[in-house]
Amino acid sequence: MTTLTTPAQPGHDKSLRPVPWRRLGWVSWRQYRFSVVGGAVFLGVLAAYLLIMGLRVRSGYASVASCPQLGSRLSHTCGIALMLFGGYHVWGESTAAVLMAVPVLIGAFAGAPILSRELEVGTFRFAWTQGAGRTRWALARLALPAVMVTAAAAAFSQLFGWFYYPFFATGDSALAPQYFELTGIAFAAWTLAAFAIGTLAGVLIRKVVSAIAAAMAAWAGLLLVTSLYLRRLYQAPLNVRNSGHGVSPWVISQWWTGPNGKTITSENKIIALINHPQPGYTQWTTYEPGTRYWHFQFIEAGWLLVLSLLLIAAAIWLIRRRAA
């Protein structure tokens, strides 16, 4: 049997001196340097786009802010400025949608193959017999990429927040699901979680393509459950009459009640009440105040960090336990 076909044991030959971490890191860099460069180019282009568009958005916001209040008669110049700013808002929403895909792409195409590729083709056996060992081999593969993708995501969240600030200032809520994961510290936490999910999927499945599909599905499911259900449990939402509820809240639901206190279910009646309010009818709103933004950010980033560490630890444990 050759080195690549001999079953590797959980430990390694004690006569071999452990390979220094520096050399293990250098080998990992040599293997994945082209992927790193490609990812850096993609992120660089995206960063340049955010910077250029951010300057345009802020210029448009300054023009709109200098106009009289919207309730008064607008000049031709202000009307054009308002129209242009509305167009920028469409670009901003499209950018948010694209940026939302970045964590899952990192998890699928960086996290899933990082161990599964070598497990699939069998080249890991050579490393395990060269003084690296299973744990050191796995840590050398995972540590640097995990730190790099998390740091890059943290930088991008700040850039996106700067880019999107004018829209937050004009009514969009930073607590809304389509923006919350992209700002603050949540974006970095979701990116690390995607990387960890992909890593564990790769170790469990040991097939690159299948691991990529599983990682994307698992991350999307986690994000959906969090946005629709889990995040509301961080702090109980408020129920108030529709008489104003602070700046940029996350509105969860709204409904109307009649004079008898019963909920109105007729859409036609609700539309009529919106256009022409009537005495005895009340609109209610369930919402999360915008002041809870950082409270929610720290809660979400905290449990995602714990989850990511547990998933990576589980992947390393499986590497140590699984027979070659």
Regarding whether 273 and 194 lie in a shared domain, the answer is: no
Q: What is the pTM of this model?
A: 0.82
Regarding whether 116 and 99 lie in a shared domain, the answer is: yes
Regarding whether 317 and 196 lie in a shared domain, the answer is: yes
Give the confidence band of 12 by pLDDT, cuts at 50, 70, 90.
very low
Give pLDDT tens digits for 272-293. Answer: 877 777 788 888 888 888 889 9
Residue 241 lies inside a defined structural domain of this protein:
no
Domain of 182, in residue numbers? 23-235+291-321
Residue 242 lies inside a defined structural domain of this protein:
no
**Percent over 70 (pLDDT), the chain:** 81
Q: What is the pLDDT of residue 27?
A: 60
Regarding whether 129 and 254 lie in a shared domain, the answer is: no
Regarding whether 216 and 180 lie in a shared domain, the answer is: yes
Q: What is the pLDDT of residue 13?
A: 47
Give pLDDT tens digits for 84-126. Answer: 888 888 889 999 998 999 999 999 988 888 888 877 777 666 5
Residue 3 lies inside a defined structural domain of this protein:
no
Structural domains of the chain, count = 2
Regarding whether 254 and 228 lie in a shared domain, the answer is: no
Residue 9 lies inside a defined structural domain of this protein:
no
Regarding whether 258 and 168 lie in a shared domain, the answer is: no
Regarding whether 224 and 211 lie in a shared domain, the answer is: yes
Regarding whether 261 and 156 lie in a shared domain, the answer is: no
Regarding whether 141 and 198 lie in a shared domain, the answer is: yes
Residue 17 lies inside a defined structural domain of this protein:
no
3-state SS, the chain, equals CCCCCCCCCCCCCCCCCCCCHHHHHHHHHHHHHHHHHHHHHHHHHHHHHHHHHHHHHHHHHHHHHCCCCCCCCCCHHHHHHHHHHHHHHHHHHHHHHHHHHHHHHHHHHHHHHHHHHHHHHCCHHHHHCCCCCHHHHHHHHHHHHHHHHHHHHHHHHHHHHHHHHHHHHCCCCCCCHHHHCCCCCHHHHHHHHHHHHHHHHHHHHCCHHHHHHHHHHHHHHHHHHHHHCHHHHCCCCEEEECCCCCCCCEEEEEEEECCCCCECCCHHHHHHHHHCCCCCCEEEEEEECHHHHHHHHHHHHHHHHHHHHHHHHHHHHHHHHCCC
Regarding whether 284 and 300 lie in a shared domain, the answer is: no
